[in-house]
């Protein structure tokens, strides 16, 4: 699933297609990146910028990397569901036999 999403991101970015409706999270992350860059250009200290934006430095750099690589779709939050889901230990036949 994740591989398909990354492939989709690359296709949209390479072909410069931007017909996706982005969530509010994307615009919030974009605003934080813009504020970070603006404050950095004005000569503010990095720990002060981080305290003001209330976002970790690693997160900001991660978002900037995703934005540089994939554009706005790179700022969309990825799925938080597990990659592999545990299967049931007993089949329905075994459960039926246990109950009888």
Report the number of distinct structural domains present in the chain. 1
Residue 21 lies in a domain: yes
Residue 12 lies in a domain: yes
pLDDT at residue 51 in the model: 96
pLDDT at residue 1 in the model: 43
pLDDT at residue 79 in the model: 86
Residue 58 lies in a domain: yes
pLDDT at residue 11 in the model: 60
What's the rounded Cα separation, in Å, for the pair 1 and 35? Answer: 33
Asked if residue 60 lies in contact with residue 51, where contact means CB atoms within 8 angstroms, the answer is: no
Q: What is the pTM of this model?
A: 0.66
Residue 99 lies in a domain: no
Residue 34 lies in a domain: yes
Asked if residue 32 lies in contact with residue 60, where contact means CB atoms within 8 angstroms, the answer is: yes
Q: In terms of residue numbers, what domain contains 58?
A: 2-79
Residue 95 lies in a domain: no
User: For each successive 10 residues of the chain (100 residues), what is the average pLDDT?
Assistant: 54 59 91 97 95 96 94 89 83 65
């Amino acid at each position: 699933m994740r591989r398909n999403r990354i492939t989709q991101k690359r296709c949209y970015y390479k072909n410069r297609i931007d017909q996706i409706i982005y969530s509010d999270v994307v615009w919030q992350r974009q605003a934080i990146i813009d504020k970070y860059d603006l404050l950095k250009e004005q000569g503010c200290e990095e720990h002060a910028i981080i305290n003001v934006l209330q976002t970790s430095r690693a997160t900001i750099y991660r978002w900037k990397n995703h934005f540089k690589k994939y554009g706005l779709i790179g700022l969309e939050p990825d799925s938080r569901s597990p990659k592999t889901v545990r299967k049931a230990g007993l089949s329905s036949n075994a459960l039926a036999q246990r109950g009888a």
